[in-house]
């Protein structure tokens, strides 16, 4: 079948998944850029939205209404919706260091811009460290490469040069300070903030505690500032790695569950594509 410049052929539109509405998840793929070929690929798959790691201008300090609108308009011209842009709070915010208030204000300004331009979700991490040193590629079936994580290889790594160890209690204090500063802004801007759990869910990284490395931590996080704008990315892969049933955990955090604070739904771990909706979204394996 030949696809035209607008994307998917009319004869197969809406095939392959449910009809999307405000009451259903909406499929969204992660894109590294908004080039024509990238947008066209998403459109041909029948997916309606895209997510990005950031704007092409750089970090949140570069955000302006014009910059974000340019990205939104670029996706819209391809018949798609930009639904999520990710960010990472600085180490000064994560570790409660001097200067965090200035960094939080940069985040709040970006949230206000997102609200004015209609971006529904901003996703972020609050890792002490990602602890990527524990990953390696191992041989798989048919000559494939499989990603493996071994906590024993990294559990005793020291703090990075110039950093200190931070207790789990300190990390909870720091994220509490952060949430109390940003969630009221998110509520006013109508932008949902989604925190991704620790992936991999290692309890300690370079001597510092990881707040989102357990299911109890996920629940505690959403209780700090109870709000429909304070939520999580629900990652099925991480949930399974923690030894929990993803279906039961989904029922707890999902839009009709106890908490109703799941804004992004990750179907598979490690290598995945994102999907979001005003309430929650999905991620699909590459």
**CA neighbor of 110 nearest in space, from 99, 123, 100, 91:** 123
Predicted local distance difference test score (pLDDT) of residue 16: 56
Q: What digits encode the pLDDT tens for the residues 48-80?
A: 899 999 999 999 999 999 999 999 999 999 999
Predicted local distance difference test score (pLDDT) of residue 91: 94
Of all residues in the chain, the percent with pLDDT exceeding 90 is 53
Sign of CA dihedral 14, 85, 113, 124: positive
The domain ranges of the chain are 10-128+155-285
Give the mean model confidence (pLDDT) for residues 11-25.
64
The pTM of the full predicted model, rounded to 2 decimals, is: 0.82
Say if residue 4's pLDDT is above 90: no
Predicted local distance difference test score (pLDDT) of residue 76: 96
Q: How many CB atoms lie within 10 A of CB 257?
A: 14
E strands, 196-237, in order: 204-205, 208-209, 230-235
Fold of 10-128+155-285: TIM Barrel (3.20.20)
Three-state secondary structure along 4-58?
ECCECCHHHCCCCCCCCCCCCCCCEEEECCCCHHHHHHHHHCCCCEEEECCECCE
Of all residues in the chain, the percent with pLDDT exceeding 70 is 81
Q: Which of residues 189 and 131 earns the better pLDDT score?
A: 189
Query: Two tokens at 9?
Result: 């052929």
Q: Where is average pLDDT lowest: 10-24, 63-77, 217-231?
A: 10-24
Q: Grade residue 273 by pLDDT with cuts at 50, 70 and 90.
A: very low
């Amino acid at each position: 079948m030949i696809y035209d410049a607008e994307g998917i052929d009319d004869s197969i539109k809406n095939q392959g998944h449910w009809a999307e509405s405000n009451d259903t998840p909406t499929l969204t793929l992660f894109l590294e850029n908004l080039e024509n070929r990238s947008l066209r690929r998403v459109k041909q798959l029948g997916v309606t939205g895209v997510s990005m790691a950031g704007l092409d201008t750089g970090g949140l300090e570069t955000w302006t209404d014009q910059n974000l609108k340019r990205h939104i308009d670029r996706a819209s011209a391809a018949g798609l919706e930009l639904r999520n842009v990710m960010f990472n709070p600085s180490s000064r915010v994560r570790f409660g260091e001097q200067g965090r208030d200035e960094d939080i204000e940069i985040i709040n300004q970006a949230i206000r811009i997102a609200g004015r331009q209609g971006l529904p979700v901003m996703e972020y991490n609050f890792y002490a460290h990602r602890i990527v040193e524990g990953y390696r590629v191992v041989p798989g079936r048919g000559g494939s490469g499989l990603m493996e994580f071994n906590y024993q290889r990294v559990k005793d790594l020291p703090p990075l040069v110039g950093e200190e160890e931070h207790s789990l209690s300190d990390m909870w204090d720091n994220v509490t300070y952060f949430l109390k500063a940003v969630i009221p802004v998110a509520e006013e801007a109508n932008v949902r903030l989604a925190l991704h759990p620790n992936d991999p869910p290692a309890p300690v990284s370079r001597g510092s505690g990881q707040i989102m490395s357990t299911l109890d931590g996920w629940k505690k996080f959403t209780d700090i500032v109870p709000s429909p704008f304070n939520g999580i990315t629900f990652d099925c892969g991480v949930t399974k790695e923690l030894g929990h049933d993803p279906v039961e955990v989904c029922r707890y955090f999902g839009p009709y569950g106890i908490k109703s604070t799941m804004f992004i739904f990750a179907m598979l771990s490690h290598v995945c594509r994102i999907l979001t909706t005003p309430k929650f979204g999905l991620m699909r394996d590459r």
